[in-house]
Amino acid sequence: MDALYIRRAADTFEPTELTRGPWDRNAQHGGAPAALIAGELERHSEGKPFARIALHLLKPVPLVPLTLHTEVVRDGRRARRMRADLKAGDEIVCFAYALQIQGEPEPVPEVPLGGRITQGPEAGTDAPNFTGYRMFAGDGIEVSFVKGALTEPGPATAWFRLRVPVVDGEQTTQLQRAMAAADFGNGISSAVRWDDFTFVNPELTVFLLREPVGDWIGNEAVTAIDPGGIGLADATLHDSQGPFGRGLQSLYVAARR
């Protein structure tokens, strides 16, 4: 199936093999449920722009039918808060909080984020598939590195483009593209070697200054690690017009045994 998910009911989604992560073929990459949740939040957004989405991954999201419920927690005149719960059976495996901010009709001065990626995706190199099976990175989403490499520690910059719809038969939104790409900050900017250390992000927080444009989303990321085992991946998100947001991931870091 050429989609990440198949909608089986109004609130039920069946993941395909294109949602798989790189370490466990029975668990999803975080970018896939991030995009799914973003789309359902948008369906109940009343057209107000999103300023922040905080995703909490309570456990690996399995490749089983999932239910997704969204609700408005508080609807203020300027700020609107939503919650989304993703369940496998009766268990919440991931939840998200979203903040929408409605500005005034009168525009204010523009102060953009600084910096931009100087090389587009056409100048990059593809990320290798090291799993031996179809998965989200590479098969579900195209990856083009313009700085750094997947297998080399250090800061990196890559462009991402979804190859398939998030939900079969439904149009992919710009918010879904942004959330899918944002979850790669930790992976592309690994500060230690994949073979020697585990570095898992139990959460992802994305801040949006504006909605991105175009199919390609750039992720310019760097990771810092404290000896106590806490890491932080810090990514600036770009489109063809320049930076539009930030993606932050807290990390659990430990030596492999």
Q: Give me the domains of the chain, ranges plus CATH numbers.
A: 5-102+121-255 (2.40.160.210)
Would you say 220 and 148 are in contact if contact means Cβ atoms under 8 Å apart?
Answer: no
* 107-156 confidence digits (pLDDT tens): 889 898 888 898 999 988 888 777 778 999 999 999 999 999 888 899 99
- The CA-atom distances, in angstroms, between 8 and each of 4, 5, 84, 85, 201 are 13, 9, 18, 17, 29
Q: Is the pLDDT of residue 10 over 90?
A: yes
3-state SS of the chain is CCCCEEEEECCEEEECHHHECCCCCCEECCHHHHHHHHHHHHHCCCCCCEEEEEEEECCCCECCCEEEEEEEEEECCCEEEEEEEEEECCEEEEEEEEEEECCCCCCCCCCCCCCCCCCCHHHCEECCCCCCCCCHHHHHEEEEEEEEECCEEEEEEEEEEECCCCECCCCCCHHHHHHHHHCCHHHHCCCCCCCCEEEECCEEEEEECCCCCCCCEEEEEEEEECCCCEEEEEEEEEECCEEEEEEEEEEEEEECC
- Residue 1's pLDDT is 63
* 175-231 confidence digits (pLDDT tens): 999 999 999 999 999 999 888 998 899 999 999 999 999 999 999 999 999 999 999
State the angle between helix axes of 31-43 and 174-182 in degrees (0 to 180), rounded to the nearest 10: 150
CA 187/CA 30 separation, integer angstroms: 11
Q: Is the pLDDT of residue 40 over 70?
A: yes
- pTM for this prediction: 0.95
* 57-109 confidence digits (pLDDT tens): 999 999 999 999 999 999 998 999 999 999 999 999 999 999 999 888 888 89
Q: Indicate the pLDDT class of residue 24, thresholds 50, 70 and 90.
A: confident
Q: Is the pLDDT of residue 22 over 90?
A: no
